[in-house]
Amino acid sequence: MAVSRGVSGAGRALGLNTLVRLRREQGSDDAPGYPSLPEGMTAPLGSDAVALPARLGARIVPWLPRVGCVYADETHWWWIVPADSDYALPWPSPAHYEPGARIPEAARLINRPDDTVPYTPPILLYLALCRVTGTTPDWSRPISA
């Protein structure tokens, strides 16, 4: 789906990806903000977060070859992933996807990778979450007609 803008129908088409990005950039002023990245880290692909109940956090770590920045409070762990890691990927319950990595201020950094990139690989995080929750990955489900 493309939306045209401009005068008399002239202009460039906006794709779904652009519309999603623009909507996310609007954000909300009363939403919690992203905590500062640790010193020396950069997020070249933008940042979103996947929130999981704390009881699942430690169970997922062994399934991941690389763990990026993870923030936690008493009830949740937030895994930093590249922006738009939810594109065409419905994260299974009980995960909650947070565009813009909106994380409560009370959350504290519990894992920092050794390099300068804060990301946990999103597909591997998704598969690990499916594994510990007994959920079939979305692309493996039968299609109904």
Tokens of 102: 């909106």
Per-residue buried b or exposed e for 37-63, using 16+ beta carbons within 10 Å of the residue's own CB:
beeebebeeebbbbbbeeebbeebeee
**Mean of the pLDDT values across residues 36-41?**
86
Least confident of 18-22, 86-90, 104-108, 119-123: 18-22
Between 19 and 96, residue with greater pLDDT? 96
The pTM of the full predicted model, rounded to 2 decimals, is: 0.74
